[in-house]
Structure formats: C-alpha cells, structure tokens
Amino acid sequence: MALQLIRIMRPDDANIAGNVHGGTILKMIEEAGAIISTRHCNSQAGEPCVAALARVERTDFLSPVCIGEVANVSAEITYTSRHSVEVQVNVMSENILTGAKKVTNKATLWYVPLSLKNVNKVLEVPPIQYARKEQEDEGKKRYEEQKLDRLETKQRNGDVIFPVINPEPHTVGYSQSSLIHLVGPSDCTLLGFVHGGVTMKLMDEVAGIVAARHCKTNIVTASVDAINFHEKIKKGSVITISGRMTFTSNKSMEIEVFVDADPFVDEPRERYRAVSAFFTYVSLSKEGKPLPVPQLLTETEDEKRRFEEGKGRYLQTKAKRQAQMQQAARQ
C-alpha cells in the first residue's frame, strides 16, 4: 500500500529567506502517514478507527525546499505489529521551471489505531504481507527499539522552563522561548484530538525562534531527533510549547522542545507533558552558506549537564553518519 501527496510551496510556508519551514514539511509528512495508516487500519471489516501518531523517528532535512517548488510526499507501510503501524515517508522537491528534482526528507512514523466509539481503546492492526522474512524481522527489531526509547524518554520528562530576568546574550535564558496555543476544531482529528502534524509545526516554530535569538541570522531546520507523543491533547486544551538551547557545536545548535497541555473543557485535570523532542538548526548567510554558531554559555549545573548530554548525542550522530558514508563508499 502506497500514497502520494503533492503541493506547491507558497510564501506563507517559508521564512524571510524563502526557505520552507521545517514544521511545514513535518506537517505534510504526518498528513501522509495519517492517511495511509488510517486507510490500512480500516481495510478489514471491524470497528472504525483513526490512526493516531505515537512517534516520529529521527528526521534529517537533506536539502531546503523553496517557495514555488513542488513537494512530492510519498508514504508506504513497512511494518505492522499487533497494535501499531510503521510508515516510511520520503519527500522530493521539484523546481517546475527547470524540472530539477532532489530528495529533501526521509522519515519513519509510528501510528496506533484508536476506536471512533471509544478513544481510549486501541484496536488491532491488520497484518501486511512481507516480500521476505528478513523484512518482518528487521521491522520487529525497529519496533522493539522505539518502544524501549519511548519508555525511557517518558521517564525523564519532568523539566520546566522558567523565565530569566535580564539574561546575558548567548546564555540559555537569553534565547529560551514559549508559545501558548488554544486547541481549536481545525487543529484536531475526527476524534477531537490534535493532529500530530499541527503539534510538530508549532514545536518547529518555537525551536526556530530560539535558534534565531541565539544567532541573529537566517536559520533552518537541519534535523529532528525522535519526537515522542506521550499523551493525546484534546480539543479545548491550552498548550504551552517551550524551547531552550541545550548544545552548540561550531556549525549547529540543539534545541529541546516540549509541549505541556492544560485541559479546561469537559474534563479538567492537571497540566501534563504531552510531547517532547530535540531539534537541530544551522545558521546560514544571505547566500545560503553555513555560518559559525556562537558558543552557548552555560551557567547552572543543569545547563552544563544538558550541554554534555547534547554533545554526546551530537558525537553519536556524527559517528553514525561517517559510518554510513564509509559503507556507501565501499559499495
């Protein structure tokens, strides 16, 4: 089963430099994933359902998309467990004046089917047919890995961002940012919960503000580490999207973003952590060339700890990328 979505990029999709926001691309990726997984989960007779986004694996932005280009989003289901669906999504941009095409994004998303009659009921997923037994085994391995990572991430989610009075430039407090959003009907699925793509777009906006405040230059999304959706966000909730700088290398910035929800309609409850992720940004000149990133100045022990953790993730990603390049060179 495969799906394609095609859309031309408009001025309101982009930043002042004409580069399409990473959040816009993430929203398109999620829309394609939601459609194909919901179709699959309703492909057999049974209780009607809607596929809800549970997790997005690390996504690299390989090349920027510009205003006027056409984005072609293709999605394919690559693995199913009893209660979840893995969707692989590729994004290709096309310059319709020259015909030039380039791959801009590759993403892996996980969905779970929720009953239309009872939103707290997770239904069983129809199995897919694999061309080779190895494909199923590899998919099962990816499923177990993401399941473990989701649990670990949820356990360490408890931080809160507090405002800082008169912060110094290039400190964590100087660039940290928050955005408050009232969840309306246009943000939600048929079940009355926020679309994952809407949440990711808001998260990218906040991360972009943090990066721009730190660098004072044009910035673009380079990658997004795994985004974990811990709990559903209901229509009528007020969500606070908070972002802070955690690490800088010479040419990139890591920004931690999390979403807290305050439900007010129907069933008031205490604020809870709904989503969390790390975004990586790069600084660009007016000509689109990479610029050096100002060093992040850490002040507290927590900031220093988060900086070292971010450095570990940066080095791990760098080593993995170098290994992939060496493997590709040998083939």
User: DSSP letter at 287?
Assistant: T
CA distance 57 to 153: 13
Terminal-residue alpha carbon distance, the chain: 30
CA distance 87 to 142: 12
Catalytic annotation, pick one of 13, 204, 225, 260: 204
CA distance 257 to 301: 20
- Helix, strand and coil content of the chain, in percent to the nearest 5, comes to 30, 35, 35
Q: What is the DSSP string of 51-112?
A: EEEEEE--EEE-S--BTTPEEEEEEEEEEE-SS-EEEEEEEEEE-TTT--EEEEEEEEEEEE
What the block records as the tokens of 95 is 């310059």
Is 15 an annotated catalytic residue?
yes
Catalytic annotation, pick one of 15, 60, 90, 149: 15
Is 118 an annotated catalytic residue?
no
Catalytic annotation, residues: 15, 204
